[in-house]
Amino acid sequence: MPALRERVEVAGDVLTFADTEPIQALQAMMEHRPPLIVLERLFAATPRGAALINRIKSDPQLSMCEVRVMSHTGDYTRQVVKPMPQPAHAATAAAGAGSP
């Protein structure tokens, strides 16, 4: 984890969790709503990591959090993009498009 910490420029506190602690990490994210969440690339590629990413992406309370997947070696960085919510009027128009 120290290698990832050095590569991310963050002002303030940094919380770290082992790959065996996704529930604790999610609880901390829900409580603190950090502006940046960094996941290690190898963890993100596991079923547990993918589930955590999907949970973060689908939670409206974490919608303002930026999620980055990074490697320890510095040769890989990816930002996880969340689906853009549709405006209420667009959803209504799409729902009514099939009506006679």
Return the domain boundaries, the chain: 2-96
| Residues 62/32, Cβ–Cβ less than 8 Å | no
* Residue 80 CB partners (closer than 8 Å, separation 6+): 53, 56, 57, 67, 68, 69
pLDDT surpasses 70 at 85: no
The phi, psi pair for 11, rounded to 5°, reads -90, 135
Mean pLDDT for the stretch of residues 22-50: 92
**Stretch among 37-41, 75-79, 84-88 having the lowest mean pLDDT:** 84-88
The pLDDT tens digits of the residues spanning 26-37 come to 999 999 999 889
